Structure 1
Amino acid sequence: MTTDELSIILPTLPEKPGCYQYFDEDGRIIYVGKAKNLRRRVSSYFHKEHHDRKTRILVRQIRSIKYIVVDSEGDALLLENSLIKEYQPRYNVLLKDGKTYPSIVIKAEAFPRIYATRDIKKDGSEYFGPYPGALIAKGMLQLIKEIYPIRTCKMDLSEAKIRQGRYRVCLQYHIRRCKGPCTGLQSADEYESNVAEIRDLLRGNLHKLIRSYRQRMQAYSDELRFEEAQFCKERINLLERYEVKHTVVPRKIDNVDVFSYDEDEHTAYINYMHIEHGGINRVYTLEYRKQIEESKEEMLASAITELRQRFESTAQEIILPFDTGWETGESMTTTVPQRGDKRKLLELSEKNVVQYKLDKLKRSEKLNPEQRALRIVHGIQKDLHLERPPKHIECFDNSNIQGTSPVAACVVFKMGKPSKKDYRKFHVKTVEGPNDFASMQEIIGRRYSRLIEENAPLPDLIVVDGGKGQLSSAYDTLEQLGLIGKIPIVGLAERLEEIFYPKDPVPLILDKNSETLKVIQHLRDEAHRFGITFHRNIRSKKQIHSALDDIKGIGKKTKEDLLLHYKSVKRIRLADEEELSTLIGKSKAKLLYEALKEK
């Protein structure tokens, strides 16, 4: 993957939890990882130097990146586990702080022990995994211990030693965590029966185990053996609780295809997910170029056929966002879920298709920034119900502190971005005291009467920082200039970010994530910043201005000498003419003395 390709792809990755997959030049998955923040995690592979040699080799082999968005970090962990088991990527076992992932072992010995290990030995033992983290392996072992009384000791439980009575039962027996095979209280057949069920559990066949326990519970209940039936029910509850907590989707939804649909003006996007054994083992998004008069039902039906053939799907159930009229075989069903687990599964697919569409748009706009600017401008036109796209927007803000040094700022945005060379600042000349409404009238009048005189282009939209009062003042001034109907104007109230229209008491409230609102907020903030900076500079100049600056004939050097000697203008006033002449000469001393006496 080239640097240019990466610079386009990485900034468009979502900042959401999910799993990412790296592919080599042959299209093989070489690494699967999980992330709380996909963009940050994937970018870290390419933006920092890796000291681990294997990681450097992995990065050099990456040719493409794919990802799956999920709801939470926990789901990402489970999905990663599912994908690793499905594809066995080359670098997953090798790359993790120089260690392998933990596995769970059923030890090849009499009354087998079951525990987590990273040390895999060829001694006839059975290993399950690897698990993507110690927490998942420990969680599985905890479930096994809660359901099955398996020994935890390391003693050699050979038949001869048990018969000789070498051992005594331990605490685990007394707290009913072990049935005491060391003293012959549990037979090898019964123990092996438990191990066989654990083997099924470790292979992921929870659904099979739950079904088996349900059948046994029913049989015990029919025989009025209620104690055994209750025992089976408790195990079913434990297994179902584990299933809900440790699978991305419930295992009862097995061998299912899920499709979701989204579109823009020219393209249809169809996301496909295949579900098996409680995990997502395939995700793919297909693009269709829209044809004339082709409905979304027809495009989705066509995509279902193509994707199922491409991936040789044998799923007997298809979950869809809407009915397509797609013809299925006798043994196949289609579902349009409205609630429950299948609905959640459809929403996950929809989340991925929306993200795919968004990422494609981001990448195309990164290659062509003008496209993004035009889209934003047309978005503002649509959201604010304007007659033409506002390619040129001007925003006004007043700034004064307790009525002193009143100023105003005008900032200009072109194609949704600041055009700083067109910014203007104004001293408020005709208004005394803190009167924002009158100040707004003056500045709007001065700005647009000048543009009219110079025959300069007028803006497509005016934004006033303030509510109904400032907006009404600006509107009245535009009306006097004959500009009503030529330039639309709105006001932005700061408290609730409401947008007001002239003569309309009901404000427009945009979505907080709307690009239109973000541009208008940016305008307002930029006008505020520009105005405050201008006002601060004026105040600073006034603070360093003194009465000496207004006396003709007293230059900068003379002023510095006087202030250095007398420390303040007040002390200079108290000095007599003769005293001043010894410092700055007779002629200047006379000018200074008379001027200060006059003041």
Structure 2
Amino acid sequence: MTDVVDIPPDEPSPDDAARERVLADVAALPGLPGVYRYFDAQDNVLYVGKARDLKKRVSSYFTKNHGGTRIGHMVSKIARLQTTVVRSEAEALLLENNLIKTLKPRYNILFRDDKSYPYLKLVSHEFPRVAYYRGAVDKKHRYFGPYPSAWAVKDSIALLQKVFRLRTCEDTVFNNRTRPCLLYQIKRCSGPCVKYIAPEDYARDVSHAERFLMGEQQEVMNALQTQMMGYAEELKFEQAAEIRNQLGALSRVLHQQAVEDNTGVTTKDADILAVKVHGGRACVNLAMVRGGRHLGDRPYFPAHVDDATAIVDDEAERKEPEVQVLEAFIAQHYLDSAVPPLLVLSHAVDKALIDALSQQSGVRITAQHQPREPRRAWLDMCIKGAEIKLAQLLAEEGSQQARTRALVEALDLDVDDLDTFRIECFDISHTAGESTQASCVVFENHKMQNSQYRRYNIEGITGGDDYAAMRQVLTRRYGKIAAMMAEQANPPAAPEGETPPANDAEPRPAPTKLARLPDLVLVDGGKGQVSMAREVFQELGLELSLIVGVEKGEGRKVGLEELVFADGRDKVYLGRDSAALMLVAQIRDEAHRFAITGMRARRASVRTGGSRLEDIAGVGPKKRAKLLQRFGGVRGVAAASVDDLATVEGVSKELAEEIYRALH
């Protein structure tokens, strides 16, 4: 990639001078393939696009009259542009989608960057175990997948237990067993922990399981059949019957899940992709076939569909919304994920996209748009799944929007845009004053925003003082915002003798993002908590009308809650069946859940030392239990001397010194 053209940021809104500079730079663009980015006056990226001919494509945005269309709305915001010239259209395609994932532009189709695919892990050991795994893979162990869901992994593990009887227990359990567990009794494990199976026989079962997961099912069945006949010839009929049962289980699974083409050849690895667009939203449903087995599907819902599908200025490049969404998903999803050799698609996509993916991955990829049976049946199922999941999403969003509107109307709030209406809710959780934590959850755009949740460890208060805890968390949450708002409202004056720059002077840096309070602050509690919140907001100079307390009703029954206001308004009872109350209860319950899970984790860490004892080499479950029992908990262990620690059975002087160092 070469020749980066970067026009510096201008005034907060694009004026005539800024537009002239943009047009001048557009005129200087080369007629080469590349990627372009548009920025607004605040230096936020608006749009990322690719072009075979940068000069022709970018010029078209500024030479046509777009009126009040979405393109016209976007073009009116452009304050500067940036372009990168590349060597080929395929390279432009890959760079475009890398930038879309990184910059998250306002007018591009954007899929959430989801790296949480689970794997089936075969842990290296003399007797390897199968396990569910999420995270980065390494070369020390064997990994199979990725799988579309946790259920798919656990179903595969259950199958391996049933057919090949591989162990799933942790090494600490495996190394300390003296008799087989229940899984051996129900024929889901061969009992390697107590030497009920020879290492070479277990290794053969592991090899069969690996080949099965890689799609070599017929070879596995042939090997099992040979093994069964061998047992029969040796008159080992019980062992032969077990192999027969294995073959039966495998045959049933393969009959249900194998995907064969019209030549009878099993499709080992493939992704099936179907897209549905309706009501301004879209769903891409991804179904996975791995090792010849259909593992299930997973829906994806992109953002900015309406805007992005309208921002196509070149008629030659204009495509159906479904095709645009599907191409965006393929380009963004497979940039960081392994791509299988076969993609079965509900809509035909640009061949250049498939070629670019093949070049990047080093895998020859085939895209099939109109498959024959039985792949047609799998595609039809995937299409139906996309339709159902999109309908569910639209129904849920409609319900949530109705709840948001009902709450705004019930509280008579002045809200210009319901999509930006923001609620922050606080709750305090502790156990008899121990491990106090406060939670803050956020509701915006008609849904909970998990990535914006925050927990606060509360320190320096009397245990169990919920009012002091609420004061601390609100001060910490809104103190900085109040200071920023005061600074923005009263910017520092220019030093005496200096004059502010004129309109034609050097451009100033783009302004920082404005500090913003939520439209509503919910606190889980009645008059006492609301009074404390009112004191904090008065000290910070913030608007009291933002604060609303959720007071439990008579008998603390759900549906009888009342809303308490910090600005002196009378209590409001919304009614048991009120959509507004349903929303308040949903947010309040989520704040409570988030607070209590954090508190329990913190309490467990304090009481047991978290992973501090577990991380000490030589301290296994039995020694850890003896230490905690002997000294009454991790605090007692930490307070013990080296000599005291050495008095515990199984703890040597050297280990006692290691424990002491780890806890101090």
- TM-score, scaled relative to structure 2: 0.30
Using CA pairs under 8 Å that are at least 6 residues apart, name the structure with larger relative contact order, 1 or 2: 2
